[in-house]
Amino acid sequence: MRTVILGAGALGCFFGARLQQNGHEVTYVARGAHLAAMQGDGLRIESRSGHFSLDRVDATDDLMKVGQSDLIFFAVKNYDVEKTLSEMASLVGPATAIMTVQNGVWAQKVLAARFGAHRVLPGAVYLPADIKEPGVIRTPVEAETGGITFGPYEGGTSEQAFKAHEAFASSGVPAMLSEDIWRSLWEKFIRLSAFSATTVSTRLNIGEIQKTEATRKLLKSLVDETTAVAKASHDTIPDDAGESAFDFLMGLPTDIHASMLDDLLRGKRIELDWLSGDVIRRGRELGIPTPSHQFAYAVLAPFREGRPEGSN
């Protein structure tokens, strides 16, 4: 399967490297020092299930040199989605599938509107990963977290979904097919929106939040608000979705935090508008109060475009 990793950061490189290791043709679209490292030295994956290196990878920042593919693994940040659509049009052929793994429940509809719902495979990734250094990807808990769940945009099954799942599973990627991917997306969004809001607002790992009563109550309130929005938006969200999400967050390893905190501390843009911001917007449309997410949004709004000038 010819695959293009569009937005080859930590997650894209991990999945791409697994596919390439198993003999699939993979092109990585990246930029900056990370691209230069891949072009010069290849790609290294550090994982609890085993380290491995690819001495040579096909990496570029020029989409005009890429061509059409069987699968586009679309992993750009939410704030880059719309500007990337016109640039990626040359990669999309008659049978190309687009697997989109953005955080939240927004980008999937944008891609479906532009390229057709029939070719979009929304995915929910359950895999912490980061760029340890340019050209080196680290994922500490690969086997335990479930990897990726994906499925057809309109539900049910499809040949494209089966082919992608076969390629991922045979490459050692923890992957699951879903016939109701929107349920999976919303269930992840409940957890992620609350996890991000609390760990980023407090600048803390989840462990301190788990053991601090007042902050734990804030976490629960954030979960409850997003759960109410999710249930009003998708009719297969289970009644115990909020309880399950909170239990999941309370059971996380104490030394982890949302990746958005890493972006904030590094002075990068953050995806606030597609997490708490989206909960607030949808809540307003549905008549559902979201005061805890409004609080988190107010605290983090000055950092939306990166570290404010003059701040520490």
Model pLDDT for residues 138-173, shown as the tens digit of each residue: 886 654 555 899 999 999 999 999 999 999 999 988
pLDDT score, position 143? 47
Q: Amino acid identity, residue 297?
A: Y
- Domain limit, last residue, from 145, 179, 213: 179
Asked whether residue 297 is domain-assigned, the answer is: yes
User: In degrees to the nearest 10, what's the CA dihedral of 279, 281, 284, 289?
Assistant: 30
Q: Taking the alpha carbons of 117, 234, 150, 206 in that order, is the dihedral positive or negative? A: positive
Asked whether residue 310 is domain-assigned, the answer is: no
Asked whether residue 312 is domain-assigned, the answer is: no
pLDDT score, position 310? 65
- Domain limit, last residue, from 179, 201, 234: 179
pLDDT score, position 3? 97
d(CA 14, CA 48): 13
36 and 174 housed in the same domain: yes
Answer whether 69's CB lies under 8 Å from 16's CB.
no
Q: What is the per-residue DSSP string for 197-209?
A: HHHHHHT--HHHH
d(CA 279, CA 222): 10
Q: What is the residue range of 89's domain?
A: 3-179
Give the tens place of pLDDT for each residue, 262-311.
Answer: 999 999 999 999 999 999 999 999 999 999 999 999 999 999 999 887 66
Asked whether residue 194 is domain-assigned, the answer is: yes
Give the tens place of pLDDT for each residue, 56-105.
Answer: 999 999 998 898 999 999 999 999 999 999 889 999 999 999 999 999 99
Asked whether residue 37 is domain-assigned, the answer is: yes
Strand partners, 175: 148
pLDDT exceeds cutoff 90 at 209: yes
**Residues whose CB is less than 8 angstroms from the CB of residue 290 and which lie 6 or more positions away in sequence, other chains included:** 225, 229, 279, 280, 283, 284
163 and 246 housed in the same domain: no
224 and 137 housed in the same domain: no
d(CA 305, CA 294): 18
pLDDT score, position 141? 60
pLDDT score, position 145? 52
pLDDT score, position 16? 95
Q: What's the structural domain count of the chain? A: 2
Range from 84-93, 106-115, 209-218, 280-289 carrying the lowest mean pLDDT: 84-93
Asked whether residue 274 is domain-assigned, the answer is: yes
172 and 231 housed in the same domain: no
276 and 168 housed in the same domain: no
- pLDDT band of residue 253 (cuts 50, 70, 90) is confident
282 and 230 housed in the same domain: yes
- Domain limit, last residue, from 179, 203, 233: 179
129 and 175 housed in the same domain: yes
CA–CA distance from 169 to each of 12, 22, 85, 161, 312 (Å)? 16, 10, 28, 12, 44
Q: Angle at which helices 181-202 and 291-300 pack, to 10 degrees?
A: 50
Range from 38-42, 49-53, 281-285 carrying the lowest mean pLDDT: 49-53
pLDDT score, position 265? 94
pLDDT score, position 142? 52
Asked whether residue 275 is domain-assigned, the answer is: yes
Residue 136 tokens, joined:
């080196």
Percent share of the chain, pLDDT over 90 = 85
158 and 261 housed in the same domain: no
CATH (domain of 238): 1.10.1040.10
Mean pLDDT across the stretch 222-240? Answer: 98
Answer whether 197's CB lies under 8 Å from 221's CB.
no
Answer whether 69's CB lies under 8 Å from 27's CB.
yes
CATH (domain of 81): 3.40.50.720
Answer left, alpha or beta for residue 53, where phi above 0 means left and psi between -120 and 50 means alpha: beta
202 and 275 housed in the same domain: yes
264 and 204 housed in the same domain: yes
pLDDT exceeds cutoff 90 at 224: yes
Pairing mode, strands 175-177 and 130-133 = unpaired
Asked whether residue 75 is domain-assigned, the answer is: yes
200 and 125 housed in the same domain: no
Pairing mode, strands 52-54 and 43-47 = antiparallel
132 and 15 housed in the same domain: yes
**Residues whose CB is less than 8 angstroms from the CB of residue 51 and which lie 6 or more positions away in sequence, other chains included:** 44, 45
Q: What is the mean pLDDT of the chain?
A: 93
Residue 152 tokens, joined:
């057809």
Our CA angle for 98, 245, 131, nearest 5°, is: 50
Q: Is 261 helix (H, G, I), strand (E, B) or coil?
A: helix
pLDDT score, position 42? 96
Pairing mode, strands 130-133 and 120-126 = unpaired
